[in-house]
Amino acid sequence: MGLNIQEIRSDFPVLAEKVYGKPLVYFDNAATTQKPVSVIQAEADVYNHYNSNVHRGVHHLSNVCTQAFEDVRKKVASFIHAASSDEIIFTKGTTDSVNLLAGSLGDTLFSVGDEVILSEMEHHSNIVPWQLLQKRKGIEIKVIPVTDEGELDLDAFEKLFSAKTKLVSVTHISNVLGTINPIEKIIETAHKHGVPVVIDGAQAVHHLPIDVQKLDCDFYVFSGHKMYGPTGVGVLYGKRKWLEIMEPYQGGGEMIDKVSFSGTTFNDIPYKFEAGTPNFAGVIALGAAIDYLQEKGLSKLWEYEHSLFEYAVEKLKTVPNIHFIGKAKARTSVISFLIGTAHPFDVGTLLDKLGFALRTGHHCAQPLMDRFGIPGTVRASFAFYNTKEEIDRLVQALGQIEGMLG
């Protein structure tokens, strides 16, 4: 059975909003996705019915809340096919997960002069934490270049390895270009050199079926809010063999075994990495987001989103003076473009007045903007609740705007 898009749209209350009296067209899904009622309700249910701190109490509410929280750990593990739910660490989001890795793995793996390989298309959250490690420990950062098409140059990647390479950390899908990187090949190459790999799955986990065991990645990180879940919650998957040897990232309650002033011992994984009260309401709502995606079927959602993407590329080509950034062969439903010499901010502001929510700017990927010699792009990113009619409206609006700014 195909998807009933109107029914799906009615699951997302915000889509009925008007902006300046015009129906909202939400094309900023790569920044954050909207939330279905079931996710909003799951979080409200925690506060309405069983809010209580997890792992701490002997009382009924705490047990209910702990159970719901831990059930989501299992749900996430099965969603990404982790070998065990102990390998799932709850964080605040992708940024927090990468910081945890740069902090903890940074201490465990790196000495002065050791190297990490990143790519030119990384989000700042997969660059700056490593630069902080560079400052702390004197490590080197090497960068996989991006081709004119917006793909990673894999021949150049092979040549970046040295005896000092300790880690590769790359994005699965670019938040700017939509490029789906060949992470299977990247992981295989890195492992040939005995180097572990971190995959930033912030733009991928809600689009593609992820099997971390098949991929054989060492770490996979993502954010709840980009996969129709709440803000302030994310995931770090790590292979047990790494998590067990990594030092804790933050200290505090929950992450300990025994504390005394003569010395402290730490809890087992995953708790060793979850200091303090977690965002349990957010985690529980993330579980509802996974249920929603699985109920609809990731592959059906992908198929529909891809049809929107292909439709949009064809239609947008008719806008005079449009220039696309990124033409990778394998892409998700993200399109970055410029109109003539107009600044992306001006295009975005005019679109806003017409009810469109699109992202403009550098998208937290300034090195990629430098690579293409541009200050930023206008980015349309589609989700399964978008429609071809909305794309037609965008094309028409851009035609108008091009006439004004042209």
Residue 66 in contact with ligand PMP, rule: CB under 6 A: no
Angle, nearest 10°, between helix axes 280-296 and 60-79? 40
Residue 93 in contact with ligand PMP, rule: CB under 6 A: yes
Task: Give min distance, CB of 244 to ligand PMP, in A.
Answer: 25
Residue 331's beta-bridge partner residues?
Answer: 179
Which range, of 105-113, 198-206, 248-256, 302-310, touches ligand PMP by CB under 6 A? 198-206
Q: Of the two residues 161 and 278, which places its CB atom closer to ligand PMP in the complex?
A: 278
- Contacts of residue 211, defined as CB under 8 A and 6 or more positions apart, other chains included, come to 80, 81
Q: Of the two residues 94 and 333, which places its CB atom closer to ligand PMP in the complex?
A: 94
Distance CA(126)–CA(202), nearest Å, equals 11
Residue 379 in contact with ligand PMP, rule: CB under 6 A: no
Q: For residues 278-337, which are near ligand PMP according to CB under 6 A?
A: none
Find the binder of ligand PMP among 29, 125, 165, 179 (CB under 6 A): 125
User: How open is the CA angle 338-31-9, to the nearest 5 degrees?
Assistant: 105
Backbone dihedral angles phi then psi of residue 2, each to the nearest 5 degrees: -75, 175
Distance CA(322)–CA(344), nearest Å, equals 12
Tokens of 36: 């279905």
Burial code (b: 16+ CB inside 10 Å, e: under 16) for 116-128 equals bbbbbbbbbbbbb
Angle, nearest 10°, between helix axes 37-45 and 280-296? 150
Residue 35 in contact with ligand PMP, rule: CB under 6 A: no
Angle, nearest 10°, between helix axes 388-405 and 298-316? 30
Q: x/- string (CB under 6 A) for ligand PMP, residues 171-190?
A: x---x---------------
Which range, of 92-100, 107-115, 131-139, 317-325, touches ligand PMP by CB under 6 A? 92-100
Residue 202 in contact with ligand PMP, rule: CB under 6 A: yes
Tokens of 267: 């809890």
Residue 94 in contact with ligand PMP, rule: CB under 6 A: yes
Residue 169 in contact with ligand PMP, rule: CB under 6 A: no
User: Residue 152 is inside which H or E element, if any?
Assistant: none
Which range, of 4-12, 104-112, 149-157, 200-208, touches ligand PMP by CB under 6 A? 200-208
Residue 21's SS3 state is coil
Task: Give min distance, CB of 70 to ligand PMP, in A.
Answer: 23
Which range, of 90-98, 135-143, 271-279, 295-303, touches ligand PMP by CB under 6 A? 90-98
Task: Give min distance, CB of 365 to ligand PMP, in A.
Answer: 8
Residue 229 in contact with ligand PMP, rule: CB under 6 A: no
* Catalytic residue chosen out of the listed positions 24, 313, 364, 405: 364
Task: Give min distance, CB of 35 to ligand PMP, in A.
Answer: 14
Residue 123 in contact with ligand PMP, rule: CB under 6 A: yes
Number of chain residues interacting with ligand PMP (CB under 6 A): 13
Cβ neighbours around 400 below 10 Å, total: 13
- Concatenated DSSP letters for 156-177? HHHHT--TTEEEEEEESB-TTT
Distance CA(28)–CA(171), nearest Å, equals 19
CB 315 within 8 A of CB 91: no
Find the binder of ligand PMP among 66, 169, 203, 377 (CB under 6 A): 203
Q: Of the two residues 106 and 395, which places its CB atom closer to ligand PMP in the complex?
A: 106
217 part of the active site: no
What's the DSSP call for residue 85? G
Task: Give min distance, CB of 5 to ligand PMP, in A.
Answer: 25
Helices (H), 30-93: 37-45, 60-79
Residues identified as active-site: 364
Interface with ligand PMP (CB under 6 A): 93-95, 123, 125, 171, 175, 200, 202-203, 223, 225, 364
